[in-house]
Amino acid sequence: MFEDVNVGDYLPELVKYPDNRQLVMYAGASQDFVAIHYDLNVAKEAGHPNVIIHGALKSAWLGELVTGWIGPEGRLLELDVSYRAIDFPGDTATCVGKVIDARIEDGVGLVEIEIGLRNPEGAISTPGRALASLPTRSAT
């Protein structure tokens, strides 16, 4: 419920353990067959030590973080991310979030969340924000 949310609340972390198989499966599901995501030789030619994780897959994980937190009664209204660094399979990817605003607009409980994908070094490689609506007690 909206009334249970406070600015400064942290979302429970969502930890991902991506591997090459997941990247191939994602490529098939999304029809994103750019070789840098599955061909090590192509990735190395581009200067990377390994194939790289699809940006849209990282976005999906961040969306999963938010939708898991808001539950079935909440609605994800906006999801914006920025790809600032490359992430690799074999490295742990941790999705994090923090409530930065909570307000009522036109009777709807809105929650703005700062989100990000944290790499093993602790840096946020994919920062972003989400806007979600949550039911209010007065509306139920």
Q: How far apart are alpha carbons 38 and 80 in whole angstroms?
A: 25
Whether the CB-CB separation of 11 and 94 falls below 8 Å is answered with no
Q: Which of 137, 125, 9, 3 is nearest to 66 (CA)?
A: 9
Q: How far apart are alpha carbons 41 and 36 in whole angstroms?
A: 8
The one-digit pLDDT tens for each residue of the chain (140 residues) are 888 999 999 999 999 999 999 999 999 999 989 999 999 999 999 999 999 999 999 999 999 999 999 999 999 999 999 999 999 999 999 999 999 999 999 889 999 999 999 999 999 999 999 999 999 987 55
Name the token pair of 136: 């209010």
Q: How far apart are alpha carbons 23 and 34 in whole angstroms?
A: 11
Q: Where are the domains of the chain?
A: 2-18+53-139
Whether the CB-CB separation of 93 and 59 falls below 8 Å is answered with no
Name the token pair of 72: 């079935």
Q: Which of 9, 12, 20, 15 is nearest to 120 (CA)?
A: 15
Answer CATH for 2-18+53-139 from 3.40.50.2300, 3.20.20.140, 3.10.129.10, 1.10.1530.10: 3.10.129.10
Region of 118 please: left (phi>0), alpha (psi -120 to 50) or beta: beta
